[in-house]
Amino acid sequence: MSERWARAFLRAYRYAGAAAYPMVGTYVAWRASKGKEDHNRRRERYGVPSRERPDGPLIWFHAASVGETIAVVPLIESILGYGIHVVLTTGTVTSAQVAEERLGGRIIHQYVPLDLKPAVSRFLDHWHPDLAIIAESEIWPMTILELGARRVPQILVNGRLSDRSFKSWKKRAYIAEALFENMAHVVAQSEVDGERFRALGARPVTVSGNLKVDTSPPPADEAALYAIQRQIGRRPTWAAVSTHDGEEVMAAEVHAMLRSRHRSLLTIIVPRHPDRAEALVAELTAMGLNVARRSTGDRITPDTDILLGDTIGEMGLYLRLTEIAFVGRSMTAQGGQNPLEPAMLDTAVLAGRNVQNFRDTYQRLIDKGGAKIVRDRDMLAGAVNFLLGNEIARHDMMSAGAATVEEMRGALARTLKALEPYIHPLIVQSRLKGAGGR
């Protein structure tokens, strides 16, 4: 999207209102949805509802993917206690499954409409939200502008702007200001994020901390966990989780480097995208490694080198199988993945240097001794070797990580405080409606 195109669109939309046909976000929205939708519910992506709107006040929550969905669950649960209806939209099948598992029938789930005017308008015409609460790192212009045109208060929670996103928006400051002036409030994860949102024209901005800190550790099926633990026995283990292309082979190379010192070593590799499993198995077996796939129920035998965690929603299980975890998208990819789940589950955290998206969290963990940054494969191998051979140092890292998470809690309370002026009128409305119905 060129700056000229974006400028022309925003000018046309703001002056022509609903008559201005949107182009911003078309391609991005299509790419975001490609391959991730439930085909039986595809119409929801075009704003066609699959449920009736309930009577009474209603809040639209949006959480893009699994991480954002998990982060807003405690916030949604707090609001449901006031008798306010919630429509939760997500963008992927996996996040829809998480919503079902953790919230069930207490909320209405829909797939988020594409950032196209017909889709967004159709969605808003049906649901008529009284408030929109967005937990998303991407900015969707049409959705923001449509909500603003309808005077629906919209609040960004758990807000984060990566280095790359901030740099991009700063080049288009006039567009950013035109969009962010529609926000009633931005609740940012960190002081750095808060300053970035203010620089782009958002007002007011408060800082809450990361909502995901106030979530529960990822669950695990106890029967499955016990069965796998019996198969592993007393073997030493380490894990490479949320890995991206190149990091799985790196983890396998670390395994090959260490198995002469730790002869029964088992390496657990959990790719961020399990649909890469077939290709990964081919790569790892070509290296002479024996691979057991979780998705096919392969048994872990004494000859198994790698347990490939090619399933969705079982991170809690994999992290409970080890005390050392390298968190991916940090060595061969950019930005990093969230280290909070490993830290919550008493795991010593290792990561590459590219952790910009979670800079504040990593800095806190490093300062307290709960995480360590490694620059390359050899340094990773050295760190894993050291932790496997030094129980005291390993347990000190594990304890420091868990303690750091406890110190970071409180984002939920701070977020609820920021939301109070917008939610309180809906609570009153809900109570009046209940009293009138008796």
Residues catalogued as catalytic: 68
Closest CA to 63 of 136, 9, 114, 124: 136
Question: d(Cα 127, Cα 159) in Å, to the nearest integer?
Answer: 24
Closest CA to 74 of 221, 215, 274, 280: 215
In the chain, the largest separation of any two C-alpha atoms, in whole Å, equals: 74
In sequence order, the 6+-apart residues with CB closer than 8 A to the CB of 63 are 69, 71, 72, 88, 89, 90, 95, 99, 135, 136
In sequence order, the 6+-apart residues with CB closer than 8 A to the CB of 12 are 20
Closest CA to 425 of 104, 56, 61, 174: 56
85: β partners: 58
- Do 262 and 233 meet the contact criterion of CB atoms below 8 Å apart? no
Question: d(Cα 350, Cα 380) in Å, to the nearest integer?
Answer: 8
Question: d(Cα 115, Cα 43) in Å, to the nearest integer?
Answer: 14
In this structure, what token pair is assigned to residue 10? 């925003």
In this structure, what token pair is assigned to residue 380? 């990773």
Looking at 80-138, which runs of residues are DSSP E strands? 85-90, 108-111, 131-135
